Structure 1
Amino acid sequence: MKDESSRYEAVASRDARFDGEFFFAVVTTGIYCRPSCPAVTPKRANVRFFPSAAAAQGAGFRACRRCRPDAVPGSADWNVRADLVGRAMRFIGDGVVDREGVAGLAARLGYSARQVQRQLTAELGAGPVALARARRAHTARILLQTTGLPVTELAFAAGFASVRQFNATMREIYGSTPSELRAAARGRTARGEHGTPGGIPLRLAFRGPYAAREIFDDLQVAAVPGVEEVIGVPGARTYRRTLRLTYGTAVAEVGERPGGSAGPVRSGWLDCRLHLTDLRDLPTAGQRLRLLFDLDADPYAVAARLSADPLLRPLVAARPGLRSPGAADPAEQAVRTVLGGPPERAAALVRAHGKPLDTPDGTLTHLFPTPEELAGADAGEGVRALCAALADGTVDLAAGADRDAAERALAALPGVGPAAAAVIRRRALGDPDVGPPDAAPEAERWQPWRSYAFQYLRHAGLLAGAAHETEDHDTAHSEDRNTAHAEDHDSKDSINHAALHAA
């Protein structure tokens, strides 16, 4: 979709597959939209295309009130790419610019601020400040339309430096004052004050089909008591968990039943509610959940690539939109991966070392312990080495971390090794291209979507013994396990080579 003719065709057909991949603006109205906007298709001569919402805003266009282009899924490119721009976008999504400024972003990337500015502007039409500004405006709109917070408090919660800056930005981007945006939302849904039992409602958008049942099955099997729970019956379950965030804590709830449209090209959202102790954590909490549920994936690209393989073709057809789950907390996921065993094993660490919530919320009672809190835990050599490396920065699992460097550092740790390092790369770092174990020759043809091939094979039972189990507890036992565990690990990670070669 690099050429404008193809992009205009997508706009004319209201193709939701490309929501978030590019944006279009109409010069006669001054409005920018997502490709699937239901409004009348504008004349080609009046259309301009932009690689990001921030670029459209920078060119003076305001967001469409019908299609809400600021609420689309993120581009799957940022999950795939390991270059400066890809890493920068993952950092910006996690709020690094808001917390540390452009200098902090550049330092994390290992480049000068000028280089970061130049490369982002060249590719996305906007620099890091503009991209972070677009993110803040989206957060502010959500707070305006879902809470009764006073505007002054809301502006600072969304990350703006002043109320004047907040008001000017909202008028520029949305063509409305904050009061008008709030008034327009009244009566559509029940709204509650911050801190009420209703929490803050969010719609976590995704593109294409979404295999919710499989990801909720995985989360339910692996849920760590005290930190996570899955309630309800299949098809109508709710995943709940605690989150440790920059400014405070949260309890997040995500529903299994997708909302949105159905048809040949499907898109939609998962309903979410966030109970935050500090509203400044709203965008980061939302982004962490997007990573956990793999909501920025491109299922069309995945299916096109994997369906070319005779073995995977029927598996892809049987489970359209299967996702590769990530992690809401990278350090937590890494510890759970290396620890291995059933969820109760991790729950014992939580009870012994985790920080209790001020007020328990159902069965949720604790935050998962930090690496520093686990420094003296009796959890085996691998966990001790991992926590020490995370605490001193030897291993970096931040959103935009260098994945190759992180995997090398993890694999070198005593009691961790390459198998666990690969799983951590897939889950904690959200890499979509980590292949099944012991299948390197076959997996080359699945690039850059080997993590999805792993999921299809696992759910089909072609990873022996692991068809209904999650990899963080069953495919990466640390190297200090006893012989019985090691043998079990080998059998569960063994791919069905006979099936592969027959295909």
Structure 2
Amino acid sequence: MDDEHCYRAMSSKDARFDGWFYVAVTSTGIYCRPSCPAVTPRRENTRFFPTSAAAQAAGFRACKRCRPDAAPGSPEWNVRADVVGRAMRLIADGAVDRDGVSGLAAALGYSERQLNRLLVAEVGVGPLALARARRAQTARVLLETTGLPISEVAFGAGFASIRQFNDTVRRVFAHSPTELRRRAGRHRAAGPTGVITLRLPYRPPIDLDLLFGYLAARAVPGVEEYTGGRYRRVLALPHCTGIVELSGGDGYVWCTLRLDDLRDLGAAVERSRQLLDLDADPVAVDARLAGCAALAPLVAAAPGRRVPGAVDPAEIAVRAVLGQQVSVAGARTVAGRLTARYGKPLTAPTGSLTHAFPTAAALAEADPDDLPMPAARRRALLALTDALASGAVDLGPGADRDESEARLTELPGIGPWTAGYIRMRALGDPDVFLPTDLGIRRGLERLGRDGAPAAATALAESWRPWRSYAMQHVWAVPQPDGRAAASRVPAMRS
């Protein structure tokens, strides 16, 4: 979008552009979301930035009314597979805080200078400024939702010193940390240590019941549960394990996190957003898919359908193999047995949540005779987990999707279908299509279309770049007798 398009979107207060770009007003020194009701600047007083970090680096403060730093993330970084898109996904996951800019550059295969030049050209600032903006938002969440001492907030948000923390918060929010906390609630009581409740924004529409239903049907015993409209699961995070509880709210997803180490807050939030695909632009997706006569009625009946993602890409890959040619219930049972045997027990189990899902390294060292599955699937599982544990296959947020898929298909027992499914869910690719999937074939045939792979592939070309979303609609096409699509997993849809 050029500046004129941005200005028109801002003038219409179109909320679906929140997070796509940011509006800065030179006469006030403040930057806002495009939908902010308080921003009505003259064109000559307006500047546009692709990220909140770029607006902050240019000297603008965050608007106190629309809170642009808390806008949904840009869906552009999910679509883009180039180095900038990969870098943005890594930075959002906290790579700079954990490994520094040198570690980020090494993970992407670029020099620090090259990476900085690419990011500045595309998003207006380099990796340090992007990471600083992320820390500022994390700090604001901790200040407003916990009663932690200011010093613990500073280091939990990833700042190296109290002075750096104070300076950044004042510059970004025009308030000291103490003032931010006071504005959020003068009499805030300190909650349980490590427990944080916050709201996750998204672009409407969204069918949360459908999303939670999908996750509930596949919940691994000991790792996940769904009760009373609340989905809960164990998170394996960079510094610790944690537990997240997600539920629907009034225009938000309520997220309660129980963390052993507050440094993992940013990563926990980002992974929760990825799980529910909260950074998607459903209006753009639905508009594209509704242009296909076969999909138009499905899109109208279920607007805002999302693609379930992952909090742990390696977990999704393992579960894809476990679910080969078995029912959803059967895949859950096998995953639960492996979790009980090889997963790390929680120090403080909560309800039915007792273990983290087994790591690839733990499963790679398992005795083959202890794996409750046919020999061919056992070989595939051990080859996959060994490749993940050794780093031969990268499924992290900065992975090159094409390279990861190619390496997956080199492993025994993992063909194009399996690799494509992992690419869609674990790597968050919005444009995956699986033409040989039995569920896709039957769904298209129930829509009166040719479901053969060649014909399906040709039809799906018009769905780009949102073919992953189109598949969710086709999979859900009811059977002729009105029943929902069969729960039998055509290959590994587990």
Q: Same fold (TM over 0.5)?
A: yes
> Counterparts in 2 of 1:118-197, with a 5 A limit?
118-186=117-185, 192-195=190-193
Is the Cα contact below 8 Å between 1:212 and 1:258 reproduced in 2?
A: no
Q: 2: distance between equivalents of 1:447 and 1:18?
A: 20
**Secondary structure, in 3 states, of the residue corresponding to 1:259?**
coil
Aligned partner letter, 1:306: L
Answer yes or no: is 1:447 the counterpart of 2:464.
yes
Aligned twin of 1:434: 432
Q: 1:458 aligns with which of 475, 486, 490?
A: 475
Distance 1:115 1:168 in 2: 29
Q: CA deviation at 1:13?
A: 2.0
Query: Could you say which residue in structure 2 is the equivalent of 1:352?
Result: 341
Q: Give 1:93 deviation, angstroms.
A: 0.8
Amino acid at match of 2:275: L
Partners of 1:16 and 1:208 within 8 A in 2: no
Please state how far the C-alpha of 1:14 moved relative to its aligned partner: 1.4
- 2:435 partner letter: P
1:216 corresponds to 2:199: no
Distance 2:299 2:434 in 1: 16
Tell whether the 8 Å contact from 1:289 to 1:328 is kept in structure 2 after alignment: yes
Q: 1:306 to 1:414 in 2, by over 3 A?
A: same
In structure 2, the CA distance between the partners of 1:373 and 1:135, relative to structure 1 (3 Å rule), is same
Question: Is this contact kept in 2: 1:339–1:382, CA < 8 A?
Answer: no
Q: Secondary structure at the match of 2:389?
A: helix
Q: 1:362 aligns with which of 351, 355, 369?
A: 351
Say whether the 8 Å CA contact 2:420–2:434 is kept in structure 1.
Answer: no
Q: Is the 8 A contact 1:218 1:468 kept in 2?
A: no
Matches within 5 A, 1:352-431: 352-375=341-364, 376-377=366-367, 378-379=370-371, 380-431=378-429
| Residue aligned with 1:442, SS | helix
Whichever residue aligns with residue 230 of structure 2, its letter is T
> How many angstroms does 1:213 deviate by?
1.6
1:124 deviates by: 0.6
Q: 1:231 aligns to what?
A: 227
Deviation at 1:410, TM superposition (A): 1.0
Q: In the alignment, is residue 98 of structure 1 matched against residue 97 of structure 2?
A: yes
The Cα offsets for residues 452-503 of structure 1, whole Å up to 9 and x where unpaired, read as 0000111123799995578xx82434xxxxxxxxxxx9xx9xxxxxxxxxxx
Structure 2 Cα separation of the partners of residues 147 and 238 of structure 1: 22
2:157 & 2:216 partners in 1: Cα distance? 33
Structure 1 residue matching 2:202: 3-state secondary structure: strand
| 2:232 is aligned with 1:248 | no
3-state SS of the aligned residue for 1:365? strand
Change (3 A) 1:275 1:214: same
Give the aligned partner of residue 83 of structure 1.
82
Does structure 1 conserve the Cα–Cα contact (< 8 Å) formed by 2:383 and 2:412? yes
Q: Secondary structure at the match of 1:374?
A: helix
Matches of 1:383 and 1:332, distance apart in 2:
12
Task: Give 3-state SS (helix, strand or coil) of 2:253's partner.
Answer: strand
- The equivalent of 1:203 in structure 2 is 199
Separation in structure 2 between the aligned mates of residue 465 and residue 230 of structure 1, nearest angstrom: 26
Is 202-211 or 241-250 further displaced after alignment?
202-211
Displacement after TM superposition at 1:195 (Å): 1.9
Q: Which residue of 2 aligns with 1:476?
A: 491
State the superposition RMSD in angstroms. 2.0
- Structure 1 window deviating more from structure 2 (19-28 vs 31-40): it is 31-40
What are the superposed Cα offsets for residues 400-426 of structure 1, whole Å, 9 maximum, x if unpaired? 101111111111111222211111111
Q: What amino acid does structure 2 have at the position aligned with 1:280?
A: R
Write the distance in 1 (CA, Å) between the matches of 2:312 and 2:480: 26
Q: CA deviation at 1:164?
A: 0.3
How far has the Cα of 1:374 moved from its partner? 0.9
C-alpha distance in 2 between matches for 1:20 and 1:464: 43
- Per mean C-alpha deviation after superposition, the further-off stretch among 2-11 and 214-223 is 2-11
Matched, 1:293 2:254: no
Alignment check: 8 A CA contact 1:457 1:463 kept: no
* Displacement of 1:9: 2.0
Q: Return the letter of the residue paired with 1:352.
A: R
Q: How many residues align?
A: 460
* 2:296 matches 1:313: yes
- State how far apart, in whole Å, the 1-side matches of 2:400 and 2:210 are: 29
Q: 1:316 to 1:367 in 2, by over 3 A?
A: same
With the length of structure 1 as denominator, give the TM-score of the two structures.
0.88
Q: Name 2:444's counterpart in structure 1.
A: none
Aligned to 1:258: 249
Q: CA deviation at 1:208?
A: 2.4
User: Within 2, Cα distance between the matches of 1:394 and 1:425?
Assistant: 16
TM-score by length of 2: 0.90
User: How far did residue 370 of structure 1 move?
Assistant: 0.2
Cα displacement (A) at 1:320 = 0.6
In structure 2, C-alpha distance between the alignment counterparts of 1:463 and 1:127, rounded to whole Å? 54
SS at match of 2:362: coil
Separation (CA, whole Å) in 2 of partners of 1:229 and 1:143: 26
Identity between Structure 1 and Structure 2 (%): 56
Listed one character per residue, the Cα deviations across residues 181-210 of structure 1 (whole Å, up to 9, x for unaligned) are 00000159x6543527xx201211111201
- Structure 1 residues 462 and 87, CA, compared in 2 at 3 Å: closer, same or farther? farther
CA contact (8 A) 1:458 1:467 kept: no
In 1, distance between residues paired with 2:343 and 2:482? 32
Preserved CA contact (<8 Å) 1:259 1:271: no
Q: Are the equivalent residues in 2 in contact too, given 1:338–1:476 (CA < 8 A)? A: no
Q: Does 1:337 align with 2:337?
A: no
Q: Is the 8 A contact 1:22 1:52 kept in 2?
A: yes
Rate the CA distance shift 1:187–1:162 in 2: closer, same or farther, 3 A. closer
1:356-412 C-alpha deviation (Å, 9 max, x unpaired): 111110110110010111121533111111100001111100011011111111111
Contact 1:356 1:365 in 2 (8 A): yes
Which amino acid counterpart does residue 218 of structure 1 have in structure 2?
A: Y
Q: Report the 3-state secondary structure (helix = DSSP H, G, I; strand = E; otherwise coil) of the residue aligned with 1:373.
A: helix
